[in-house]
Chain A
Amino acid sequence: MSTAPAHVLIIGGGGTEGALAHDLTLRGVKVTLVERGEITSGTTGRHHGLLHSGARYAVGDQESAVECIEENTILRRICPGSFEENDGLFIAVTDEDMEYLEPLMKGCADCGIPTQQLTPDEALRLEPLLNPELKAAVRIPDATMDAMRMPLRFFATARHNGAEIHPYIEVQDLIVHDRVVSGAVVHDHVTGKDGEIHADIVVNATGPWSEKIAAMAGVDVPIRPSPGVLLALRGRLCNMVINRLHKSGDGDIVVPQRGLSVVGTSSWTVDDPDDLGLPEDHVQKMYEEGAKLIPAVKQAEFRAAWSAARPLIGSKDQADTGRELSRTFKTYDHKDTDGLEGFVTITGGKGTTLRGMAELCANVICGKLDVQAECATRETVLLPHTAYYAA
C-alpha cells in the first residue's frame, strides 16, 4: 500500500524554520512553509550577526555554550564561504573584569571551546583600535555571519529539494476540530485572497510571535519577547569579534560586518513583539559601553539603531530584563502539554544553533509521523544563498 508522504506546515520564515524545512525535506517529508513577510524579516535578520563560539555562555549557561561550539563547527562545514572567519577576543578592561578571566578559561575548557590567552600587547597588535587600557585578552573561535544570507542557504536548499516556501502568506487562524490541529486559514498578501492549508502537523515556529500563534489553538507557550537595541556604525573598527570579558551585560560586544561595526546589545521584555520601540537611553548605552571596548565607537559615523526581539523561554512573572531567561531552546508537543494533537511549537534558542534546534524538532515531528529517516543536515553542504532566488 502506498501513501502520500506526510505533510508538515511550518509557520514562520526565520532561520530555525528554514533549517527545519531543510531537515524534514531531506527526511522525505512534504513541507510547506509560510511567512507573513519576507524571509528572515522577524528576529533572524535583525541580530548582530555573531556566530557564537559559546564562550559568552561558558560560565553561566554551559548547556547553551556546548550547543554553540558544536553548531559553530558544523555550520562552518555546511555553509562554506558564509562567514567572516576572523575569530573573536574577550577583553578585560577593569580589575573586576579580571576576576572573570579564570572562570571564563575554565568554563571554555569544560565546554570544549578552544582558547588562547593573549597579553595586552599581543591583542593590540591584532586589533589596534582596542581600548589601550585592556588588561588581558582571550582568543576564541567566534565569527561573523550574514544574518540573512546564511539562513537563506537553508531555505534555498529546502526549496530545491521540493519544499514549498511561501513568503507573504499570513496565518489568520488555525483549523482545530476535536482537539486536533489540521491546518491553517491564511491570507495571501500577493493576491489579497484568503485560503486554507491542510497538513498532518502544524509547526508554530514564530519565535517571539509564538504566543500569538499558539493562542489561535487555545494553548499557551511561556515565551517572553525580549528585545535588545543594536547600533551600527560605518567603518570596521575591528576585524575580530570583540567581547567584554565579564558576565553578559549591555553593550558587551562589537561585531564587525562588511563595512560596518555593530554594537550590541541591551535586554528588556515587552508584551507585543510587533511594537518594540527604540529606547534612546539604550542607544546611548551602546555608545558608552561599546567605547569601553573600542574608544573610536564614539567618533564613528552613525549608520543605524534598531531593536530586535529574542524569543526567550519564561513566564510573564519570571523576568524583568530578559537576562534571567534561558538562551536554550525547547520543542513543545502540545499533545503532551495540552492534549492537543497535530501541533508542535519550537522556540527559544539563537541564530548559531538554528540547525541543532531544527534537528531536535524534526526528531519530535518524525516520531509523531512515524517517519524513520535519520537527520542528514550535519553533513549536507548547503546551496549558496543566491539559489533561493533561482527558479
Chain B
Amino acid sequence: MQTMEETAAGTETPTEVRRFRVFRFKRGDPAPHFDSFDVPIEQRTTVLDAMKWIQLHRDPTLSLRHSCYHASCGTCGIRVNGREVLMCVTAVHDLGREITVEPLANIPVLTDLVVDMEEFYERYPEEHPYLRESEFNAAADTPEGIAAYVRYEDCIECGLCVSACPIVGTTDAYVGPAALAAAQRMLEEPRGADTARLIDWADDPDGAWRCHAAFECTEACPSNVNPAARIMELRGVLMGGRLAFPGREEETR
C-alpha cells in the first residue's frame, strides 16, 4: 500500500523510455497486428497516460476506451503482458522494458483496444441496481431524513473477470463471473429484486454450476468484488434451496 509519503518519493525520477507493443485492428483488416511505440515515462505515468501520449504524438487513429481515470467507471480494462488490468491505475514504472498491450479476451473487439460491451451486458439476468447500503464508518449516525447511507456497488462492470475466466474462454453459454456476482449481491441485498427468478436464473448448468473455481476472476478484479467467493456463496444458496423441506424455504434463504 502506498500512502502520501511513498507516492511522492521518486516523482523526480528523470524521464525514461519504454517500448509498447500495441494490438491493432480495424474492421475489414484480414488479421490484427502489433505496432511498437517508444514512450517517455515518469514515476506516475500510467498505461492510460502512455496510450494517450501515443494518440497525441504518434498515431491519432489508436482507439481505446477510458473515462474516469480513477478505477471507478470500469471502461479502460485491457490486458498488459497477458494480465487483465485497468489502464488508469497501472503504473508503467512497475512493468518491464517491453510492454504488450491487448484488448480484453472473451469480449468481441470493435477496434484496436476497444471491446464491444453489448455482449458483456447481455450476460446479466435482469436490470441490476448499483446502489447498496454503505458499510463504511458503521458507527456513524445517519442524518435525519436519510434512511441509511448508500453507496455504489463495488462492481464497475469492467469485464476484467470475464476476460480472465478460463471457462468463459471455452464456452459462450456460460454467463460468467460478473453476472453471477451481481446476482449474488441482489440476493444478499434485494432492494426490490425478484429473488425467486434470480435463483432460477443462477441454478443452471451454464449458470453458477459451470464455474470451475479457478479464482482467476477474483485475481483480476480491480474493485474488491471477489466474484469467485460470491459464486461459491451462490451455490450454497442454491443447495440450501434444493435440500430444504417444503415450508422451510424462507429460513434457508
How far does the Cβ of B141 sit from chain A's closest Cβ, in whole Å? Answer: 5
Q: Does A196 contact B (CB under 8 A)?
A: no
What residues of chain B lie closer than 8 Å to A262, measured between beta carbons? 70
Q: Does A205 contact B (CB under 8 A)?
A: no
How far does the Cβ of B205 sit from chain A's closest Cβ, in whole Å? Answer: 25
Partner among A41, A256, A300 whose Cβ is within 8 Å of the Cβ of B65: A41
Partner among B67, B149, B153, B156 whose Cβ is within 8 Å of the Cβ of A239: B149
Q: Does A1 contact B (CB under 8 A)?
A: no
- Pair A46/B89 contact, Cβ less than 8 Å: no
Q: Does B27 contact A (CB under 8 A)?
A: yes
What residues of chain B lie closer than 8 Å to A133, measured between beta carbons? none
Give Cα A356–Cα B46 distance, bound, in whole angstroms.
35
B97-105, B129-137, B160-168, B194-202 - the one binding chain A:
B129-137
B15-23, B109-117, B229-237, B244-252 - the one binding chain A:
B109-117
Partner among A168, A240, A389 whose Cβ is within 8 Å of the Cβ of B63: A168
Partner among B28, B71, B128 whose Cβ is within 8 Å of the Cβ of A303: B71
- Pair A304/B26 contact, Cβ less than 8 Å: no
Kindly count the residue-residue contacts between A and B in the assembled complex, taking CB atoms under 8 Å apart.
195
Partner among B7, B66, B140 whose Cβ is within 8 Å of the Cβ of A126: B140
A148 and B73 contact, Cβ closer than 8 Å, known pairs A81-B129, A87-B143:
yes
- Pair B146/A86 contact, Cβ less than 8 Å: yes
A304 and B69 contact, Cβ closer than 8 Å, known pairs A191-B26, A258-B152, A386-B124:
yes
User: A147-187 CB contact bits vs B (8 Å, 1 = yes)?
Assistant: 11100000000000000000010100000000000000001
Residue in B6, B27, B44, B73 whose Cβ sees the most chain A Cβ within 10 Å: B73
What residues of chain B lie closer than 8 Å to A269, measured between beta carbons? none
Q: Does B2 contact A (CB under 8 A)?
A: yes
A86 and B61 contact, Cβ closer than 8 Å, known pairs A238-B137, A304-B71, A305-B44:
no
Partner among A139, A189, A287, A308 whose Cβ is within 8 Å of the Cβ of B4: A287
Give Cα A44–Cα B128 distance, bound, in whole angstroms.
24
Q: Does A274 contact B (CB under 8 A)?
A: yes
Q: Does B1 contact A (CB under 8 A)?
A: yes
Q: Does A306 contact B (CB under 8 A)?
A: yes
User: B50-61 CB contact bits vs A (8 Å, 1 = yes)?
Assistant: 001000100011
What residues of chain B lie closer than 8 Å to A297, measured between beta carbons? 4
A125 and B140 contact, Cβ closer than 8 Å, known pairs A37-B66, A259-B223:
yes
User: A314-348 CB contact bits vs B (8 Å, 1 = yes)?
Assistant: 00000000000000000000000000000000000
A100-108, A217-225, A229-237 - the one binding chain B:
A229-237
Q: Does B35 contact A (CB under 8 A)?
A: no
What residues of chain A lie closer than 8 Å to B134, measured between beta carbons? 84, 86, 236, 239
Number of interface residues of A (CB under 8 A): 69
A84 and B11 contact, Cβ closer than 8 Å, known pairs A147-B67, A168-B110, A258-B154:
no
What residues of chain B lie closer than 8 Å to A287, measured between beta carbons? 4
Q: Does B88 contact A (CB under 8 A)?
A: yes
Minimum CB distance partner of B45 in chain A? A278
- Pair A302/B4 contact, Cβ less than 8 Å: yes
A148 and B67 contact, Cβ closer than 8 Å, known pairs A128-B139, A239-B140:
yes
What residues of chain B lie closer than 8 Å to A298, measured between beta carbons? 3-4
- Pair A85/B121 contact, Cβ less than 8 Å: no
Q: Does A96 contact B (CB under 8 A)?
A: no
Q: Does B150 contact A (CB under 8 A)?
A: yes
How far does the Cβ of A141 sit from chain B's closest Cβ, in whole Å? Answer: 10
- Pair B154/A168 contact, Cβ less than 8 Å: no
- Pair A46/B67 contact, Cβ less than 8 Å: yes
Residues of chain A in range 187-242 having any CB-CB distance to chain B below 8 Å: 187, 189-192, 230, 232, 234-236, 238-240
- Pair A301/B3 contact, Cβ less than 8 Å: yes
- Pair A259/B7 contact, Cβ less than 8 Å: no
Q: Does A99 contact B (CB under 8 A)?
A: no
How far does the Cβ of B162 sit from chain A's closest Cβ, in whole Å? Answer: 14
Give Cα A190–Cα B109 distance, bound, in whole angstroms.
10
Give Cα A86–Cα B52 distance, bound, in whole angstroms.
35
Q: Does B142 contact A (CB under 8 A)?
A: yes
How far does the Cβ of B55 sit from chain A's closest Cβ, in whole Å? Answer: 8
Give Cα A391–Cα B52 distance, bound, in whole angstroms.
30
Minimum CB distance partner of A141 in chain B? B145
A232 and B72 contact, Cβ closer than 8 Å, known pairs A84-B131, A128-B139:
yes
- Pair B88/A306 contact, Cβ less than 8 Å: yes
- Pair B137/A149 contact, Cβ less than 8 Å: no
How far does the Cβ of A255 sit from chain B's closest Cβ, in whole Å? Answer: 11
A sample of 6 more A-B contacts (CB under 8 A), given A144-B152, A239-B134, is: A84-B149, A126-B142, A190-B110, A232-B70, A305-B7, A390-B118
16 contacts between A and B (CB under 8 A): A39-B67, A40-B67, A41-B75, A45-B75, A81-B131, A84-B131, A189-B63, A238-B137, A259-B223, A262-B70, A280-B11, A298-B4, A299-B3, A299-B4, A389-B117, A389-B120
